[in-house]
Amino acid sequence: DAKTTQPNSMESNEEEPVHLPCNHSTISGTDYIHWYRQLPSQGPEYVIHGLTSNVNNRMASLAIAEDRKSSTLILHRATLRDAAVYYCILHGGSQGNLIFGKGTKLSVKP
């Protein structure tokens, strides 16, 4: 699985949008871009995934660059509950497992 690069940490104010970037310049044509997050003392939680087109769900939006070498997870209105480590993961292997990097630790200020 190809590598991803994310900032170590980001800060946001409550109720403001948050844009979490991810670079994946070595992405292959069959890799899906997945985002998971891990709240303190909990297991990782699926957020969103996409292949080429932008995706929206009730939790977030995923904006994928046209060349697919980068993507951005968008939280439209950050809440205190969104404080977590966010992992951007390229997933396309036949073995199914996710390869986690260090992720971005998001802090949300009231």
Partner 1 sequence: DTAVSQTPKYLVTQMGNDKSIKCEQNLGHDTMYWYKQDSKKFLKIMFSYNNKELIINETVPNRFSPKSPDKAHLNLHINSLELGDSAVYFCASSQDLGRGRETQYFGPGTRLLVL
Which chain residues interact with partner 1 by CB under 8 A?
30-32, 34, 36, 41-46, 49, 85, 91-100, 102
- Cα 43 from Cα 95, distance rounded (Å): 21
Shortest distance, position 64 Cβ to partner 1, whole Å? 14
Shortest distance, position 100 Cβ to partner 1, whole Å? 4
For partner 1, the closer of residues 20 and 33 by Cβ is: 33
Shortest distance, position 15 Cβ to partner 1, whole Å? 28
Beginning with the edge strand found earlier in the chain, give each strand of the sheet holding 32-38 in spatial order: 9-13, 104-109, 84-91, 32-38, 45-50
CB atoms within 10 A of CB 66: 7
Say which residues have a Cβ less than 8 Å from residue 68's Cβ, sequence separation at least 6: 24, 27, 33, 52
For partner 1, the closer of residues 39 and 65 by Cβ is: 39
Shortest distance, position 78 Cβ to partner 1, whole Å? 22
Name the residue type at position 26. Answer: T
